[in-house]
Every structure is written in structure tokens, then in C-alpha cells.
Amino acid sequence: MADALWTREYAALPGVALKRVDDARHFIMIDQPERLDDLIDVFLKGEDGSRIRRRAPSAAGRR
């Protein structure tokens, strides 16, 4: 049921992928911190096929 709910809720957002982590309850960062770290690393490296859009620095940030 949760998979269907979250898949539907985030379907319109570009680059979003639902990653199920079994045996993690409400706080994955406490229940399975190593698994969360691995998923974040894969996402940031783009190894899961995702594309990370980086924003150009703002004019205020340039000197």
C-alpha cells in the first residue's frame, strides 16, 4: 500500500525514484544507517541512472 501511495505522490517530479528498504521503520537513518548511506552515495554518483541537476551559482554568491 505504501509503495503505491508514494509512487503516485511523487510520479510528477522529475528524477524521483522510490527505493524500498525492507525492515526499516519510520526512521531509516536510525534503523539502517549503512543502507541509507549506500543509497545516498549511489544517488549522488548517478549510478542508479538518476541525473542530479546542479544549480548555477547565484549572482550574490559570485565575487
Q: Cα 48 from chain centroid?
A: 10
SS3 59: helix
Q: How confident is the model at residue 46 (pLDDT cuts 50, 70, 90)?
A: confident
State which amino acid sits at residue 41.
D
Flag whether the pTM goes above 0.85: no
Q: For residue 45, is pLDDT > 60?
A: yes
Query: What's the confidence (pLDDT) of residue 52?
Result: 57
Q: What is the DSSP string of 15-52?
A: T------TT--S-HHHH-HHHHHHHHHHHHHTTTS--P
